[in-house]
Each structure stands twice: as structure tokens, then as C-alpha cells.
């Protein structure tokens, strides 16, 4: 064991990695949650309780959580979930609101959300059992485009929306390039397709409201190569292993193989999550296009276009 803080895991040997990272790769929890477990003195290495996450280890089997040995990593799995409006993307909510884990069906492995969607936002939410992969997919450096269908009250000016490609500062926060294009109009409302890479907290709503357009519906239809497709609210579909291997290059990973085999979660692990199918396309470097809105089976993305005829001026 080493107390070096090299996050690349290069301390005391090429195989040494941070304890929190190894816990996440074993599917126990996310990296950040693993660091909290360490701070709570619940993690030990060789029976020595850790007091800091700045520790690297060369063998995951030396790690215990609440006295239990770290489980072997499960095969990496990703699920597509159509998050309904009105549920929180968290495990527990102090306000007692319904969470995604109450909506997800039984029988799934313990899953973690890749990024979040606000309470009133809906659409595609990726779920994975791999904490390290979760962190990787959330980073802006991954370069994956998040695409949304946004209904706003008003009549956005196309030239004004085009300026968002240069980025914009709202209340002191700088947002990167955003591609926003008017799609259709229905009475006092307008549907706008928005594509971005950062996906910061409430980014779409804040930017639109800064321009003077109040968002009354927000639907995420794509996250990188994965599409919402024709999935209904609450529906879950697993991404096939072959698609994961093609899109994420996980087949070459010596630590975690792509597959669908199930493994028992360790004691004190989170609630489980659910399965879903993949969505076509290559790691999202192309903005929205109707031809790209097809799932791996070639199904037309019906959900990408919410019913614009439903008026709503609230």
C-alpha cells in the first residue's frame, strides 16, 4: 500500500491504483461515494482502516468495506432508461420525492446514473454498474454530445440562437459552444433542438431563460451514440455487449469484460437499477440529425420528436 496521490495509479508499480477507483471498478459505488466511505472509516487495506483516499493499492482483493472483501468486478453493463418527469435522479431524496430507483423494475443489478436530469426534465438517462466508466462518460473531455428537444414559450430568433455556438456567460458562469436550432412551432410555443457537450447543471434552462425564453418541457433524446428512440417513460433497455465493445472499446479491458453475467452486490451496496437497449451512431461528434436518430436495430426515433401539437403556454 502507498499513500502517494498519483491519480494515474503509478505509485509502487504500474498496477497500483487509488483505492476509490478500484472500489468503483468493482461496481460497489461511484468513485466519489467510495471516497466518502473512506472518510467514514469504513474501508480498510490489509485490515488497516484508511483515513484518506490518497492511497494506492496493487491488488483489489486487499480491500475490505465494513469488513467484507471487495467483490470481483462484474461484466460492464449499460442500460438506457426513459426517465419520466417528476422523479429525482438520486437514490434518496430528503424531501421525500419519488426517485428513479422507485421507478426502475426489479431484478436489475446495482446501477448508477451517468449524469443527471432535473426533476421536471425527462428522456434518456444512461445507467451503468461500472463506477469508473460512469465517471469517464460524465467528463466533458469524452466529447460526447448531449442532445435535447426543448419546448420554450415564445418565438426564438434563429440568429440569436446561432450566437450560442460561440459560447455564452450567464450569471458569471461560462458555457461552451451550444448548437440550438428552431425545429417547429405550435401556437405560443416553439420546439428547439439543442446539442451540447458539457451538460452542466440546468445549463439548457439557464441559457434559454437568459435569452428570454422560458422552458416548459425538456427532453433528452441522445447521449453520445446512445439514443432514446421510441422508448416510453419508465422503460429500460440494456445496451447489447457488442454495441458496448464497438462504442466504448471495453472488450480490450483486462479488468472488466463486457457481458451480461450477474454478480451479487456487496453488503451496504446501493439499490439496483435496470436494463435497456442501445442507440445507434458513433460517439456523438455530429449534431442532431434525423437520420442519426435511429437505434441499433434501425428503428426510427419516434420519441425524439414530442408531439408539437399539444399546446402549453404555462
Q: How many whole angstroms separate alpha carbon 111 and alpha carbon 129? A: 5
Q: How many whole angstroms separate alpha carbon 131 and alpha carbon 34? A: 9
Spatial CA neighbour of 206 closest among 253, 233, 170, 236: 170
Q: Report, as an integer, the average pLDDT of 207-221.
A: 96
The pLDDT value recorded for residue 194 is 97
DSSP state of 41: T
DSSP state of 110: B
Q: How far is residue 239 from each of residues 61, 81, 116, 137, 268, measured CA to CA in Å?
A: 29, 11, 19, 15, 27
Q: Could you tell me which residues come within 8 angstroms of residue 41 by beta carbon, excluding any fewer than 6 positions away? A: 49, 50, 51
Residue 285: pLDDT over 70: no
Q: Report, as an integer, the average pLDDT of 28-33.
A: 84
The pLDDT tens digits for 227-268 are: 999 999 999 999 999 998 888 875 444 344 444 434 344 444
Q: How many whole angstroms separate alpha carbon 172 and alpha carbon 155? A: 26
Least confident residue range of 18-32, 37-51, 52-66, 289-303: 289-303
Least confident residue range of 80-84, 141-145, 194-198, 248-252: 248-252
CB distance 213 to 156 below 8 Å: yes
Find which of 66-75, 130-139, 171-180, 198-207 is predicted with most confidence, using mean pLDDT. Answer: 171-180
The pLDDT value recorded for residue 313 is 39
**pLDDT range class, residue 1, cuts 50, 70, 90:** low
Q: How many whole angstroms separate alpha carbon 241 and alpha carbon 77? A: 8
Q: How many whole angstroms separate alpha carbon 90 and alpha carbon 117? A: 10
| HSE-up of residue 48 (Cα within 13 Å, Cβ side) | 10
The pLDDT value recorded for residue 27 is 77
DSSP state of 179: E
The pLDDT value recorded for residue 250 is 59
The domain 17-69 is placed in CATH, from the list 3.40.50.620, 3.10.290.10, 3.30.43.10, 3.40.50.2000, at: 3.10.290.10
Other Cβ atoms closer than 10 A to 90? 13
Residue 136: pLDDT over 70: yes
Residue 202: pLDDT over 80: yes
Residues designated catalytic: 118
Least confident residue range of 240-249, 264-273, 288-297: 288-297
The pLDDT value recorded for residue 142 is 77
- The average confidence (pLDDT) of the chain is 80
Instruction: Name beta bridge partners: 237.
Output: 80
**pLDDT range class, residue 74, cuts 50, 70, 90:** confident
The pLDDT value recorded for residue 133 is 87
List the helix and strand counts (H, then E) for the chain. 7, 17
For β-strands 112-114 and 146-153, DSSP reports them as unpaired
Residue 210: pLDDT over 80: yes
Domain boundaries, the chain: 17-69
With pLDDT > 90 as the criterion, what percentage of the chain qualifies? 53
Instruction: Name beta bridge partners: 113.
Output: 127
Q: How many whole angstroms separate alpha carbon 12 and alpha carbon 19? A: 14
Amino acid at each position: 500500500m502507498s499513500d502517494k496521490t498519483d491519480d494515474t495509479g503509478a505509485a509502487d508499480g504500474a498496477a497500483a491504483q487509488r483505492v476509490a477507483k478500484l472500489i468503483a471498478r468493482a461496481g460497489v459505488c461511484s468513485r466519489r461515494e467510495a471516497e466518502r466511505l473512506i472518510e467514514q472509516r469504513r474501508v480498510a487495506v490489509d485490515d488497516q482502516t484508511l483515513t484518506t483516499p490518497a492511497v494506492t493499492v496493487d491488488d483489489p482483493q486487499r480491500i475490505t468495506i465494513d469488513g467484507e472483501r471487495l467483490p470481483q468486478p462484474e461484466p460492464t453493463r449499460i442500460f438506457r432508461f426513459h426517465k419520466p418527469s417528476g422523479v429525482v435522479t438520486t437514490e434518496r431524496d430528503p424531501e421525500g420525492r419519488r426517485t428513479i430507483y422507485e421507478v426502475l423494475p426489479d431484478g436489475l443489478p446495482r446501477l448508477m446514473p451517468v449524469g443527471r436530469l432535473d426533476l421536471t426534465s425527462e428522456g434518456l438517462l444512461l445507467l451503468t454498474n461500472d463506477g469508473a466508466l460512469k465517471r469517464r462518460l460524465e467528463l466533458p473531455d469524452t466529447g460526447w454530445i448531449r442532445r435535447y428537444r426543448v419546448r420554450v414559450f415564445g418565438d426564438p430568433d434563429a440568429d440569436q440562437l446561432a450566437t450560442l455556438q460561440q459560447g455564452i456567460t450567464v450569471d458569471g458562469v461560462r458555457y461552451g459552444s451550444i448548437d440550438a436550432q428552431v425545429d417547429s412551432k405550435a401556437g405560443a410555443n416553439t420546439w428547439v433542438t439543442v446539442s451540447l457537450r458539457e451538460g452542466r447543471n440546468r445549463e439548457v434552462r439557464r441559457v434559454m431563460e437568459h435569452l428570454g425564453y422560458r422552458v416548459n418541457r425538456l427532453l433528452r433524446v441522445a447521449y453520445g451514440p446512445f439514443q432514446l428512440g421510441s422508448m416510453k417513460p419508465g422503460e429500460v433497455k440494456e445496451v447489447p455487449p457488442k454495441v458496448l465493445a464497438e462504442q466504448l472499446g471495453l472488450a480490450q479491458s483486462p479488468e472488466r469484460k463486457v457481458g451480461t453475467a450477474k454478480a451479487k452486490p456487496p453488503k451496504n451496496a446501493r439499490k439496483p437499477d435496470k436494463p435497456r437497449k442501445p442507440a445507434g451512431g458513433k460517439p456523438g461528434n455530429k449534431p442532431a440529425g434525423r437520420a442519426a436518430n435511429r437505434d441499433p436495430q434501425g428503428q426510427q426515433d419516434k420519441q425524439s420528436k414530442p408531439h408539437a401539437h399539444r399546446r402549453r403556454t404555462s
